[in-house]
Amino acid sequence: MGTVSKALSLLTYFNHGRVEIGLSDLTRLSGMNKATVFRMMSELQESGFVEQAGTDRSYRLGPQVLRLAALREAAVPILSVSRRVLRDLSNETCETTHLSLVQGTQLNSLSHAYSPRHATKVMMEDAEVLTYHGTGSGLAVLAYAETAFVDAVLEQPLCSHTQHTVTDPNTIRAQLAEVRACGMAQSIGGFEADVHSHAVPIFGADRQPIGALAVAAPVSRMTDAQKDLIPAALRRAGQALTHRIGGFPPADYPQEVEA
């Protein structure tokens, strides 16, 4: 990883539960030495990507991030377009729906919607970093990503989130073949215990996956009826979102979700 990539990777540790991070915590989270982290954060601060706040001088995201986010949304309005899709999909399935986007070598949660139907629901966090191997969303992206990208992901150490997380690259490759056959990925307890997720890839104008749309439900609510409803609703929503952002699925993308 180059110097620029290392510096930008420090920004990925910010999320809704961690809007301000001190130098010591950034050092611990990144695994870099403290002097290197301080130098990189100082450079990011000079460019407006971070700023310091509070008496402890913790870092938070700066105005440059907002400017770039606004430019990105103006060019590819996926956030504004996805909100309606997520809400309608959540209302139809009565479960949590979420959209994640590929950002370099990471898959970041962008937006989500909750159904008011159930008091108990799968909780999400915007800007949460998802793993490719442990989530339905990640598997949906990998199934249609370029071979070099898949190889790079699976060559890295694959962590276990739960006892059901699959970490063997060969097993994961077999799963990806199954996803390509039906156009949809599933993960049962792979990222969070007792959560059953379904996901479909979202494609850009170049027919490459830019992210994934998913429905996450407690395993206990996955009745036969839901196992039929969720894939059908998710397929329609995924196709609609890809179309609305000007994307196209690859020619071999299945048009029907197999039961």
For position 258, what pLDDT does the model report? 41
Q: Can you give the CATH number for the domain in which 218 is found?
A: 3.30.450.40
Closest among 7, 30, 21, 29 to 54, alpha carbons compared: 21
Q: Which residues pair with 97 in a beta bridge?
A: 113, 215
Q: Say yes or no: 62 and 80 in one domain.
A: no
**What is the Cα–Cα distance from 200 to 77, expressed in whole angstroms?**
19
Give the start-end residues of each E strand in the chain: 50-53, 58-61, 96-103, 106-113, 129-130, 185-188, 195-203, 209-218
Cβ neighbours, 10 Å, residue 33: 10
Q: Say yes or no: 84 and 25 in one domain.
A: no
Task: Decide: pTM greater than 0.85.
Answer: no
For position 76, what pLDDT does the model report? 59
Domain membership of residue 253 (yes or no) is: no
Domain membership of residue 109 (yes or no) is: yes
**Pair of tokens at residue 130:** 């998802």
For position 257, what pLDDT does the model report? 44
**What is the Cα–Cα distance from 76 to 95, expressed in whole angstroms?**
27
The total domain count for the chain is 2
For position 190, what pLDDT does the model report? 93
**Pair of tokens at residue 216:** 């996450």
Q: Can you give the CATH number for the domain in which 63 is found?
A: 1.10.10.10
Burial group, residue 221, by CB count within 10 angstroms (0-12, 13-18, 19+): middle
Q: Say yes or no: 154 and 234 in one domain.
A: yes
**Pair of tokens at residue 243:** 């179309």
Opening angle at CA 19, ends 111 and 201, nearest 5: 25
Q: What is the pLDDT along the chain (259 residues), one digit of tens a residue?
A: 578 888 888 998 887 678 899 999 999 999 999 999 999 999 999 999 999 987 788 999 999 988 887 776 665 567 778 889 999 999 999 999 999 999 877 898 889 999 999 888 999 876 678 999 999 999 999 999 999 999 999 999 999 999 999 999 999 999 999 999 999 999 999 999 999 999 999 999 899 999 999 999 999 999 999 999 999 999 999 999 999 888 899 999 997 544 3
For position 1, what pLDDT does the model report? 59
Under a CB-based contact definition with an 8 Å cutoff, are residues 82 and 111 in contact?
A: yes
Directed axis angle between helix 78-93 and helix 63-75, to 10°?
80
What domain range includes position 158?
76-244
**What is the Cα–Cα distance from 87 to 112, expressed in whole angstroms?**
8
